[in-house]
Amino acid sequence: CFYEGYIEGFPVSLVALSICSGLSGILQLTNASYGIKPLETAAGYQHLVYPMWNKNVDTQLLFCYLIFLKSKQPVSRFPRYLEMHAVLDKALYDYMGADKDAVTAKIVQLFSYVNSMFARLNLTIVLSSLEFWTENNKIPTTGDAEELLQRFLQWKNVHRVLRLQDIMFLFVYREQSRYVGACSARKLCLRNRAGGVALYRRAMTLEAFAVVVAQLLGLSLGMAYNEPGSCHCAGAICVMRASSVHSAGVKAFSSCSVRDFQHFLSAGEGQCLLNRPAMDAAYKAPVCGNKVVEPGEACDCGSAEECRRDLCCTIGCKMRRGAQCLSGPCCRKCQFVKRGTLCRSSSEDECELKEYCNGTSGECTPDLWVMDGHPCSRNTAFCYQGVCQTADKQCQKVFGQGARNGPLACYEEINGQRDRMGHCGSNRRGYQHCAWKDLRCGKLVCEYLGSKPFTKEKAAVIYARVQNTLCVTLDY
């Protein structure tokens, strides 16, 4: 339920939205950013749109040394994928709400923002796994960013299973910090050394943190910071400009950053980006409030207002006290109806059977019908999957309403020919002659009452007028 796009009529714009439980996300124009989120306490489907500022980010990145190479090869048009394992320390997990579903939604939204910046490079940042330190941090998270990065890389290399991804990042919460992160520059595909630490400061917006993560990834991909006035950013704010963390509006990689990434690839340092990962989610947490009953939910009545009107389901996706069922032909006012109550009639077809409620489910019992081959329609047809397959029904299915089974004279005229137009089957010797008693067992012959010739793709239409009746059949 996460989408990316742009605002119609504003070419230099970006929208990254989640539609899980209402709309939430970011709308970026040339030099302004707006957040949108649902009003949880308001009645109805109401949302708040608010301007976003990034004031509390007076810091610089640290320890990302670069060596530049020269190349004239363009950035490849083939899609590339960077698989990341992200770890949240306990402080950031608590700061984001200390709820796994809520924190996961915020991190997925964060990566949606990051991917919107990397789209120009035809590079997808894949959040392949996410780890929360909910009780205790597995390493000390104190000290400066470079010290923490080295400690984190040592821990990662001990846990070999964590090295299946291209890169690992540790997201850490700090009340105050001189730095916003550190990374192993240009070490992306060296799995023992690829990693980064991003510091989330108090009052920092998710948009600003996305820029921090994008800059750290950019440095890992061989990019350098952009000098003011030296690089072109196509009407947007340059991602790799140090001041972009403070800025609202659309962010894009500059011509200089694209060139740096081109050098990185042409030097053969991006081989790990060529592996396309499996994009199917291994686990999808249920989302209470989306009106879809998912694993772990007894029901899902939608918004708070809808749930207040629901007699059977509560806001927390649980059944109300005393409720037995939600809906179905055997459910009335959240209770099972009496055993033996008719829930599915046999309609007009004699090959159908009636079904009754069993008193223990809100749904009707499985649809049942008379055994296939049972005679029906006064012994002129046979039952098949609950339908009396009369010749009239077959003619109407082929030639439309008004058509009906042809009289015996039509069958004698057409199925008595013993050619491809009319026969009772074929073998190696050719078409089989129809005995008089088997005339109706050959090709279906109908009486055609239409005023216009019948047309059907890839079929020859055969007409024959017999005793003032227009007979018709098809040859495929």
Q: What is the mean pLDDT of residues 329-356?
A: 88
> Tell me: the pLDDT tens digits for 344-392?
876 667 888 889 999 999 999 888 888 998 999 888 888 988 888 889 9
| Residue 352 within a domain | no
| Residue 310 within a domain | no
Q: Which of 14, 31, 75, 25 has the alpha carbon at shortest distance from 48?
A: 25
Q: What is the mean pLDDT of residues 165-182?
A: 85
| Residue 314 within a domain | no
Domain boundary among 250, 274, 298: 274
Mean pLDDT of the chain: 81
Distance in angstroms (rounded) separating the CA atoms of residues 463 and 454: 10
Q: Which of 160, 219, 164 has the alpha carbon at shortest distance from 188?
A: 219
> Tell me: the pLDDT tens digits for 268-293?
888 888 888 776 555 556 778 888 88
Domain boundary among 254, 274, 294: 274
DSSP string, 384-425: ETTEE--HHHHHHHHH-TT-EEPPHHHHHHHHTS-BTTB-S-
Q: Could you tell me the CATH number of the domain that includes residue 239?
A: 3.40.390.10
The pLDDT of residue 65 is: 36
Q: Are residues 411 and 270 in the same domain?
A: no
CB distance 351 to 383 below 8 Å:
yes
| Residue 8 within a domain | no
Q: Look at residue 66 and tell me whether its pLDDT is greater than 70.
A: no
Looking at the structure of the chain, the number of domains it has is 2
Distance in angstroms (rounded) separating the CA atoms of residues 425 and 24: 65
Q: Are residues 261 and 404 in the same domain?
A: no
Distance in angstroms (rounded) separating the CA atoms of residues 22 and 37: 7
CB distance 336 to 362 below 8 Å:
yes
- Which has more pLDDT, 127 or 64? 127
pLDDT tier, 263 (very low <50, low <70, confident <90, very high otherwise):
confident
Q: Phi and psi at residue 470, in whole multiples of 5°?
A: -85, 110
3-state secondary structure of 291: coil
Q: What is the mean pLDDT of residues 234-258?
A: 79
| Residue 140 within a domain | yes
**Model pTM score:** 0.52
| Residue 320 within a domain | no
pLDDT tier, 75 (very low <50, low <70, confident <90, very high otherwise):
low
| Residue 41 within a domain | no
pLDDT tier, 63 (very low <50, low <70, confident <90, very high otherwise):
very low
Q: Look at residue 184 and tell me whether its pLDDT is greater than 70.
A: yes
CB distance 410 to 442 below 8 Å:
no
> Tell me: the pLDDT tens digits for 301-319?
988 889 999 999 998 899 9
| Residue 24 within a domain | no
CB distance 341 to 361 below 8 Å:
no
Q: Listing from the earlier edge strand, what are the strands of the sheet with 179-183?
A: 60-62, 179-183, 195-201, 167-174, 80-88, 123-132
β pairing state of 237-238 and 251-252: parallel
The pLDDT of residue 21 is: 63
Residue percentage of the chain with pLDDT more than 90: 18
The pLDDT of residue 1 is: 61
Q: DSSP class of residue 332?
A: E
- The whole domain housing 471 covers 398-475
CB distance 213 to 198 below 8 Å:
yes
Domain boundary among 274, 290, 305: 274
The pLDDT of residue 58 is: 46
Distance in angstroms (rounded) separating the CA atoms of residues 28 and 8: 12
